[in-house]
Structure 1
Amino acid sequence: MSSTGPGRTGPVRLARHHSTRQLAPLVPLALVVGISPLATDMYIPGLPELAADLRTSPALAQLTLTAFLVSFAVGMLLVGPLSDAVGRRRLVLLGSIGFTLASVLCALSPSISVLLVARVVQGLAGAAGAVAGRAMVTDVLSGVRRAKTIASLSAINAVAPVVAPLLGGVLIGLGTWRLTFWLLAGAGLALSVLVLVSFPETLPPVRRSTGVGLAASARRMGGLLANPRFSLYLVTSCVATVGFFAYIATSAFVFQEVYGFSTSLYTVVFASNAVCMIITTVLFGRLVERISEDRLLSIGLVVAAVGSAGVLAGALLHAPAGVVWACLAVVTGAQGLVITGSATRTQALGHATPGTAAALQGGLAFGIGGLGTPLAGALGGTPVAMGAVMLAGLGLGALLQVVAPRWVRTPPVVAEQAAPAGVGHDGGDVQHPR
């Protein structure tokens, strides 16, 4: 038996329960898991044009982002527990096909109401790959090896916020915002083919949970939520996501309409900030063998809160746009540690039902974060409003992560199934001292 390291794109093999299971190639798996950043970020530079083209308000244009994020969250909550009962591969394939069809509908939308419906369908379909794909990693890997692989997936996914707005800006320059959705349709079609030809099933029937309905899914969720530490990770992740999504939803209007940036220059702002996230997700994978996932998560949240305070202070003091840009770069850089740390810790505590764990962590974070996206816009869409919402969410997340665990009793973690002899194992989920 052998396993490729997390930095390679070849198949990863790990035997458990005397059977051989194979993880999909890393890059296609990362693209399936990370289709949501493409669907979220690619059309953001065109939001002002979209509002004008569909004769709607900026608030309704931003609602297309909220519609996607909330439906994506609901889809994760539905698909994750279901994948623990029926397996991963078929759900990922159906989701990729559905995402393709919904993207075509987005591109053809004649009105804001049709676009909103299409974005809801797109979010529901995209959720299947995101949640089941992450669960595939936990099906096959454990401990530090799992953390490093999730970090590798996160690093590849973090490329999307860099490429997506730049590509979106180019497409808008060549045509209209609709071209971005045609490109998403093409990406969905390519992913459907990749899943069909290269994705094995990672959850054999012997390891599947019993029960398929909503009641069975609720029982699996309830079992995880009964762990106080798991629930605290969820709350921390959710409030931090509200703060970060305030930046995603509002920054286009702030920089283009308040600071007078062109669409092209705004895409540079967004992409350069995302580069910082790529760097920190790669750094997480390098550091996790020496520093605990909890410590890295704490550092990320504290630094993000400090950066958010800088955004708010710069806005209140009418500092140049470059100052706000630099503070946002700090926040997005720290977010690489936050996203990866939250994912690895919830997967560790929820290793018995990884689809359900991924659904709760990702679904609730996206759902609550998506509901929070209009908040900065409702407060005026100004730099001050953006900074205030960012600081409130990320600051509270940092406080919960650093202070609250002192009063939360963590029950003993059930050990993961050990790999058979001959297969490397890193010792499970034992954390370094904090």
Structure 2
Amino acid sequence: MDAAVSSFNTRILLPLLASIVAITPLAIDMYLPAMLVIANDLQTSMPNVQISLSIYLAGYSLGMLFFGPIADQIGRRKLAKIGLTLFGASSLALAFTTEIHAFWILRAIQAFTGAAATVVVPGIIRHMYQKNTAKGMSYVSMIMMIAPLLAPSIGSLILGVSLWSTIFLVLAAYSFIILAFVQVYLIDIPIHTNEKKGLALFFDSYKIILSNKEARADILSSMFVSFGFFCFLTSVPFVYLDLFKVSEQLFGVLFAFNVMALMFGNFLNTRIVPRIGSRKMLYYGLICGLLSGGALLTFSLLHMPLYYIVASIAPLMMSLGITASNADSLILMKFEKNTGTATAVIGTLRFGSGALVGPLLAIMHAKSAVPFSSLMFSAVVLTILVQWFHYLKDKKNASL
């Protein structure tokens, strides 16, 4: 075991940190099967219920922006407890909502407060793993991926035996159970004192992150990779269910296969990154992404059968997992005193880029897999260009 983590009980801490992060995919994915039922029960249209998903993403992004610097000021453990408590309370309120506008407001509150809990996780991982932060991030991501893998099935199961409101009662119970474990097991990390307080410290924290030229390439890389992931997440129901006419059961299997490829990428990262470092591992991930993304676009242009599409998406998802973990860890390693704010910047750009996917796909809409394939391939190419310019700049500085 690495010396940096030998003093921590990782068998408890890593699953706990993953469980905290998992509130986001659970809150997003568990209620998807119930959208039509919610629309009927609240006497509104399906698009109005779908808006609640965009509201959640927007609320979560704002929450990351707001709570990132606060995590650096008051400590991670305290903020995680506040976030989980308020997330649970808003989930309870959602279970008793009878009107769509109240549903929107409570979803925004649920997302905003949930961000207070999740924003603390990368800073704790960085404190535990130091130079091997990418390894810790991959472990947590690998465990956390169980949530989106199972969430739609859990939602469907609950809907089969109970009301849609039970989904939000389960989310509330989950957050309160995690809160109990946080109270007992979650460590805190040192808070770096600063002469500035309040809003001055809040804005100064963001100035430190955004003015760091060395971090910009990795921040942009994290954003572009996330954009690629949201392209998959947004498009896969259309591609599998509508375009290739697979059954709902087969859709679940194919979706799980893609998520498992993402998990496998994170597993590979934990094995290899301590030996070669995050930067090289990021490059290897991009090479894999370029090859698989190019194959996906080619197969889509040629209107190849489904298994060609699935076979190219799997390594592409694996490469996205590898690239994202290493880009995020390279960012965090540059900001020991501002990991909360750095996490907020990463999260906001990540979900902000995801918000662009829907409109772009609507503009490019076609009865084929070409729009989403071209966007995913473009995300990989843009990431490679950003990293290439960063490499040339480092090489130039080294020669001076």
CA distance in 1, matches of 2:28, 2:362: 17
**Alignment-derived partner of residue 158 in structure 1:** 145
CA distance in 1, matches of 2:117, 2:320: 22
**SS of structure 1 residue aligned to 2:6:** coil
TM-score (norm 2): 0.87
The one-letter code sitting in structure 2 at the alignment partner of 1:9 is R
Q: Could you tell me which of 119, 125, 129 is aligned with 1:137?
A: 125
Q: State whether residues 7 and 149 of structure 1, in contact with CA within 8 Å, keep that contact through their aligned partners in structure 2.
A: no
Which stretch of structure 1 is more off in the superposition, 91-100 or 300-309? Answer: 300-309
Which stretch of structure 1 is more off in the superposition, 65-74 or 289-298? Answer: 65-74
Q: Could you tell me which of 83, 88, 103 is aligned with 1:115?
A: 103
Which stretch of structure 1 is more off in the superposition, 175-184 or 123-132? Answer: 175-184
Which stretch of structure 1 is more off in the superposition, 209-218 or 223-232? Answer: 209-218
Whether 1:355 and 2:340 are equivalent positions in the alignment is yes
Cα gap change, 1:152/1:390 in structure 2, threshold over 3 Å: closer, same or farther? same
Q: Could you tell me which of 266, 282, 290 is aligned with 1:297?
A: 282
**Alignment-derived partner of residue 389 in structure 1:** 375
Q: State whether residues 265 and 318 of structure 2, in contact with CA within 8 Å, keep that contact through their aligned partners in structure 1.
A: yes
Shift of 1:179: 4.3
Cα gap change, 1:136/1:210 in structure 2, threshold over 3 Å: closer, same or farther? farther
Cα gap change, 1:217/1:162 in structure 2, threshold over 3 Å: closer, same or farther? same
**Alignment-derived partner of residue 63 in structure 2:** 75
Q: Could you tell me which of 223, 227, 232 is aligned with 2:208?
A: 223
**Alignment-derived partner of residue 406 in structure 1:** 392
Q: State whether residues 79 and 116 of structure 2, in contact with CA within 8 Å, keep that contact through their aligned partners in structure 1.
A: yes
Shift of 1:357: 1.6
CA distance in 2, matches of 1:336, 1:33: 16
Cα gap change, 1:27/1:317 in structure 2, threshold over 3 Å: closer, same or farther? same
Whether 1:56 and 2:45 are equivalent positions in the alignment is yes
CA distance in 2, matches of 1:280, 1:159: 14
More helix by proportion, 1 or 2?
Answer: 2
**Alignment-derived partner of residue 254 in structure 2:** 269
**SS of structure 1 residue aligned to 2:303:** coil
CA distance in 1, matches of 2:363, 2:86: 32
Shift of 1:175: 5.0
CA distance in 1, matches of 2:351, 2:319: 18
TM-score (norm 1): 0.80
CA distance in 2, matches of 1:306, 1:108: 49
**Alignment-derived partner of residue 173 in structure 2:** 186
Q: Could you tell me which of 97, 111, 114 is aligned with 1:126?
A: 114
**Alignment-derived partner of residue 234 in structure 1:** 219
Q: State whether residues 20 and 118 of structure 2, in contact with CA within 8 Å, keep that contact through their aligned partners in structure 1.
A: yes
Shift of 1:154: 1.7
Cα gap change, 1:263/1:210 in structure 2, threshold over 3 Å: closer, same or farther? farther
**SS of structure 2 residue aligned to 1:290:** helix
The one-letter code sitting in structure 1 at the alignment partner of 2:17 is L
**Alignment-derived partner of residue 420 in structure 1:** none
CA distance in 1, matches of 2:90, 2:289: 34
CA distance in 2, matches of 1:179, 1:307: 40
**Alignment-derived partner of residue 98 in structure 1:** 86
| TM-superposition CA deviations, 1:274-294 (whole Å, max 9, x none) | 111111111111111222201
**Alignment-derived partner of residue 350 in structure 2:** 365
The one-letter code sitting in structure 1 at the alignment partner of 2:115 is A
Whether 1:38 and 2:14 are equivalent positions in the alignment is no
Q: State whether residues 35 and 49 of structure 2, in contact with CA within 8 Å, keep that contact through their aligned partners in structure 1.
A: yes
Q: Size of the alignment, in residue pairs? A: 394
> Percent identity between the aligned chains?
27
**Alignment-derived partner of residue 134 in structure 2:** 147
**Alignment-derived partner of residue 422 in structure 1:** none
Segments of structure 2 that go 5 or more residues without pairing to the other structure are none
Cα gap change, 1:305/1:39 in structure 2, threshold over 3 Å: closer, same or farther? farther
